[in-house]
Structure 1
């Protein structure tokens, strides 16, 4: 049996990069793998979150999953905090993972920045929680991007150490699922920086909640350069903003960049931006409409999450029982 686990933090402003880099791939994978998709709200609170906003964005991420085409009947869709086993197994993983491994995690250094002494213990230890998320379901595969590979390696190390320490093959060594060339979507204001929900300017990204008019406005204002669109990929060298917009078009059209330039190369950016706008609106418009419908009906979202949590618990419970027996926890 092949099973995947993956998740998204509910920290607001899901954007085009989240869709093209992760969620769209999950829609395709659900037909090949037993799929568990999680709104990782416990990871979100490693930095402070406004409680009301966390509730809202948990529903918003769930709505994005559903609007993008993830089927709640075929897949398990739930929020992390609804299954206590994530926290329970995370503590055991904290006792398995070594400090030296944690100190090598580059994302903590990036997120904590110059304020490491003021960062939460949760932010430092969250790779152990991530390992628990994956191992709680004995996931065989995890779809990963470049920024997640190190954490999956830690998950594999934790599984191997647990199995070795207790002399039992409890956990699989989860494999990365690499889906060809990654779609790396960059900021609309700076083609050298990744599109991010944390960037100050809302015009740096296309949010999945943006309507057609706002999408058009953002693409029209996206930074470019004075040269026309090249006819070959080599012509994008040294032109990060042009390369980003061509990459977005290629990803939305599900076609190589070479084909995009063969068709549209030589045009001024005004014409290319109009073509990109038309494509983005036709692709994201139906998703935006469905997200808005779902968000107007929070009871529908909550019912899906409740059912998903029950299904997740049915898988996680026996795994946690096995772990507790292996560790030697007395259960009476």
Structure 2
């Protein structure tokens, strides 16, 4: 094994195609190379108000998505963050190590809080410290992150290094990023300049992992395109990437081509070469067939699991026990280093 992976997803909405291609599918592949811990981060979710019943439902749904996508619970750990108190206990210690100036530089808080920062929760402000506790509490060596989370991972590294320096230890392992590949950014089906998002008010902007074949077909049929035929290899640069000026002209076209490439495990340049000059109507039919073949079985298994919540809860309970078995001894050593008396 190359090391230990820790990663998580907030249970705030139904997972969609972007989550699958950008994260979950890669996690399934990482199981072969890493010891993997996957967390439904419900504590992060409540940094903004969540309806309690919806939070419970969404926690089970995200877990079902992990399982249906191929995360092997006999090999990897799946659990809900709130099921392991180590996260909260370690976060307090790390809050006392992190510096206010470091948190003031976190751009995601500024984006999420908007203009009304004084009314944002303290939890939203200290969110990155809890994220650091998530990772450092398991001595995770690697964390899969998108571009929007790289800053938080750097903070986790800074906190680990300061703790080790302050207390003369090597207990906290500075984690290394695992950056997602070209499929990490899947854009909205309604606006190719916006990232596919769970929070977009239009359900037609995304393909949910629970969508059935008819819904997938309808959403792809309605996906925004343009009247021109599909582009050819002339839009590619010498590295086989779409030239920036070409992408800006037809963002929706390249988004659909990128989705096709990701679902078929092909390079985008190969797909562009194969589909050059094709009409969008024909291409959308091909994309629909491909999306249904990949996502259909996942959606079907998710629905089966959600019809049997006890099965999902049992996986979370067993995963939480394994997570505590790893993290509690680490926390105990950290508490000893700080000078806390044993309970």
- TM normalised by structure 2 equals 0.95
Contact conserved, 1:183 with 1:251, CA < 8 A, in 2?
A: no
Please name the residue that 1:56 is paired with. Answer: 57
Please name the residue that 2:279 is paired with. Answer: 268
- Distance in 2, matches of 1:303 and 1:179, equals 30
- Distance in 2, matches of 1:109 and 1:270, equals 41
- Structure 1 residue 182: deviation in Å? 4.7
Q: 2:307 aligns with which of 291, 296, 307?
A: 296
Please name the residue that 1:97 is paired with. Answer: 98
Contact conserved, 2:40 with 2:62, CA < 8 A, in 1?
A: yes
> Secondary structure of 2:15's match?
coil
- 1:144-159 alignment runs, 5 A limit: 144-159=145-160
> Secondary structure of 1:96's match?
coil
- Distance in 1, matches of 2:21 and 2:179, equals 14
- Distance in 1, matches of 2:24 and 2:210, equals 15
Please name the residue that 1:164 is paired with. Answer: 165
- Distance in 2, matches of 1:189 and 1:246, equals 15
Measured against aligned partners, the alpha-carbon deviations of 1:254-307 in whole angstroms (never above 9, x if no partner) come to: 101111122222111111111100000000000000000000000000000000
Contact conserved, 1:97 with 1:128, CA < 8 A, in 2?
A: yes
Please name the residue that 1:128 is paired with. Answer: 129
- TM normalised by structure 1 equals 0.98
- Going from structure 1 to structure 2, the CA distance change for 1:180 and 1:197 (only over 3 Å counts) comes to closer
- 1:185-264 alignment runs, 5 A limit: 185-232=186-233, 233-234=235-236, 236-237=246-247, 238-264=249-275
Contact conserved, 2:23 with 2:180, CA < 8 A, in 1?
A: no
Measured against aligned partners, the alpha-carbon deviations of 1:62-108 in whole angstroms (never above 9, x if no partner) come to: 00000000000100110000000000000011111111110111110
Contact conserved, 1:77 with 1:309, CA < 8 A, in 2?
A: yes
- Structure 1 residue 180: deviation in Å? 3.8
Please name the residue that 1:112 is paired with. Answer: 113
Please name the residue that 1:43 is paired with. Answer: 44
- Distance in 2, matches of 1:91 and 1:99, equals 14
Contact conserved, 1:231 with 1:266, CA < 8 A, in 2?
A: yes
Q: Which runs of 4+ in 1 moved over 6 A?
A: none
Contact conserved, 1:5 with 1:139, CA < 8 A, in 2?
A: yes
- Distance in 1, matches of 2:180 and 2:221, equals 31
Name the count of aligned residue pairs. Answer: 332
Measured against aligned partners, the alpha-carbon deviations of 1:150-188 in whole angstroms (never above 9, x if no partner) come to: 000000000000000001111111111124435210000
Contact conserved, 1:102 with 1:124, CA < 8 A, in 2?
A: yes
- Please, what is the CA RMSD of the aligned residues? 1.0
- Distance in 2, matches of 1:55 and 1:197, equals 17
- Distance in 2, matches of 1:94 and 1:288, equals 40
Measured against aligned partners, the alpha-carbon deviations of 1:122-174 in whole angstroms (never above 9, x if no partner) come to: 00000000000000000011011111100000000000000000011111111
Please name the residue that 2:239 is paired with. Answer: none
- Distance in 2, matches of 1:163 and 1:227, equals 58
Gaps of 5+ in 2: 237-241
Q: Tell me, yes or no, if structure 1 residue 317 matches structure 2 residue 324.
A: no
Measured against aligned partners, the alpha-carbon deviations of 1:195-251 in whole angstroms (never above 9, x if no partner) come to: 001011000000001110000000000001111101224475321000100010001
Please name the residue that 2:317 is paired with. Answer: 306
> Secondary structure of 1:14's match?
coil
Contact conserved, 1:252 with 1:283, CA < 8 A, in 2?
A: yes
